Amino acid sequence: MKLLTVIIPVYNESKTITKILDKVIKTKISKQIIVVDDCSTDNSKKKISNFKSKIYKIIIHKKNLGKGAAIQSAQKFIKGKYTIIQDADLEYNPNDYFKILKRINHKSINAVYGSRVLGKKRYKLKNFTSLSRIFFNHILTLLSNIINNQRLTDAHTCYKLFDSKIFKKIKLNENGFAFCPEITTKISNLNVKIFEVPISYKGRSYDEGKKISYKDGIEAVYALFKYKFFKN
């Protein structure tokens, strides 16, 4: 199987980082793991260091910059044929790598997203907050589809898998959550069609450490227009 680069941005995930690293490492895929600690103030860095013999590269930010910045820091170290983004919060299951890789192995496919909306194991409603997040994700995805001429059900999923040759050529600018619409728009600007496969998803609440906010949604909308019409 071709080498997969797994980029794991981390910020204050001491409760989950050990479990997610263990899951990624045990996944029976040829992989290169790059972990970027975005200046965590908890015990995350120490727990990451316990896995240093099994991680290709550990990058430590001296200042908290955001998920997008963490991915930018990892970009130049990518060696895999394909690259996937993995959050450190246990919302996404590394066992889904197999079905995403199976889809991208088809000819002329260069980007596959794992959709939380497709399939039987999709988003589960827990409360009004989770309902509102799902609603805004649908709105942002619809807007992204209109602007980028795609047919996605979940444009802002964490699981984004790219052909590394294409991904490494894209200059990323957004430091925070707006990385998501930025990369989708820039990939679309290259006339790359993005495919989807259903994945499992176990969302967490803000009390459990969820970090995304409504401000991130506003920045995402701005990024969509910026990288489609004004800046590439």
- State how far the Cα of 62 lies from the Cα of 39, in Å rounded to an integer: 5
- Look at residue 127 in the predicted model and tell me its pLDDT: 44
**Per-residue pLDDT in tens (0 to 9) along the chain, 232 residues:** 789 999 999 999 999 999 999 999 999 999 999 999 999 999 999 999 999 999 999 999 999 999 999 999 999 999 999 999 999 999 999 999 999 999 997 778 999 999 999 876 555 545 444 556 677 889 999 999 999 999 999 999 999 999 999 999 999 999 999 999 999 999 999 999 999 999 999 875 545 545 566 677 788 889 999 999 987 6
- Give how far Cα 66 sits from Cα of 12, 157, 176, Å: 12, 16, 4
Superfamily of domain 4-230: Spore Coat Polysaccharide Biosynthesis Protein SpsA; Chain A (3.90.550.10)
> What is the C-alpha separation between 165 and 85, in angstroms, rounded?
15
From CA 162, how far away is CA 158, in angstroms rounded? 12
